[in-house]
Amino acid sequence: MDYLFVIILGGLWGSFANVCIYRMPLNKGVVSGRSYCPKCKKQITWKDNIPIISYFLLNGKCRKCKKPISSQYTLIEFLSILFFTIIYFLYGTTLTTLLLMILSLSFIIIFFIDLKHFIIPNEITFSMMALGFIKSFDPNLNSLFPNYINSLIGGLLGYGIIWSIIFFYKQVRKKEGMGLGDAKLFAVIGFWFGWLAIPFIIFLSSIIALLSVVPSLLKNSRTMSSQIPFGPHIIIGTLIYLFFENSFKSLLF
């Protein structure tokens, strides 16, 4: 029964993430108005808005206009359910579970917005910075999270390193490289997981980004100066770091 509740919760919040991903880049309120089909603009009834299930019942098409519904909606709901379930399995009914569920949902939203629009919303990064720092004052939190000193150093280091890279790249190349959204996302990671996480995640995300563009570089469909969304690579690098956290830290201690 507990897992069923977590699955339902993950699906519902995944549906909310879809609303954020669609509306935030358009500067539309995420809680204003009912969900509607982006093709015909008709409101979606509750029975057609059940996470994952409605997509298959409707055969992947809007009931009103019969236009295809993007499978991305279902993917995001599935990812939310998956993350919520894994987090609950690992940490049970704890504050750590609640915090990681909030962070995972934020990561999902950032991932898909940056992937399409090349932006990382300040509304999410600023709120996650604040929550990451505030939680560090609780002495009873899981050891996954740093104390407030390491959290503060991590946030400042995460932002400072990326800001420095952006600044020097602009001085040398006379054009923008990475965006400040990436610096803010690294600040979030620093506030949540401490300064030790920053160098590892910078390295991992850089390698992942490089590997992702190599095929297109070889096909000449992309150049080294082409813009790529770095946020998704940062998030993937963070997940890898958290999965192998003890192994990475053992390299230092």
Q: What is the pLDDT of residues 7-38, one digit of tens each?
A: 999 999 999 999 999 999 988 877 766 777 77
Placement of tokens 């992937």 in the chain: 115
What SS3 class is residue 68? strand
Q: Running DSSP on this structure, what letter comes out for residue 61?
A: B
Average pLDDT over residues 107-132: 96
Rounded Cα distance, 252 and 11, in Å: 39
Query: What is the band of 164 on the pLDDT scale with cuts at 50, 70, 90?
Result: very high
Instruction: Dump pLDDT digits (tens) for 57-95.
Output: 888 888 888 888 889 999 999 999 999 999 999 999 999
Q: What is the pLDDT of residue 208?
A: 93
Q: Would the pLDDT of 147 be above 70?
A: yes
Q: What is the pLDDT of residue 1?
A: 66
Q: What is the pLDDT of residue 28?
A: 82
Q: What is the pLDDT of residue 66?
A: 82
* The two structure tokens encoding residue 72: 């991305």
Rounded Cα distance, 97 and 91, in Å: 6
Rounded Cα distance, 194 and 152, in Å: 8
Instruction: Dump pLDDT digits (tens) for 232-247.
Output: 999 999 999 999 887 7
Please provide residue 47's backbone torsions phi and psi, each rounded to the nearest 5 degrees.
-70, -20
Rounded Cα distance, 238 and 228, in Å: 18
Angle at 198 between CA 226 and CA 93, to 5 degrees: 115
Instruction: Dump pLDDT digits (tens) for 196-218.
Output: 999 999 999 999 988 888 777 66
Question: What's the predicted TM-score (pTM) here?
Answer: 0.91
Q: What is the pLDDT of residue 160?
A: 95
* Across 39-48, 181-190, 216-225, least confident range: 216-225
Looking at the chain, the whole-number percentage of residues with pLDDT higher than 90 is 60
What SS3 class is residue 217? helix
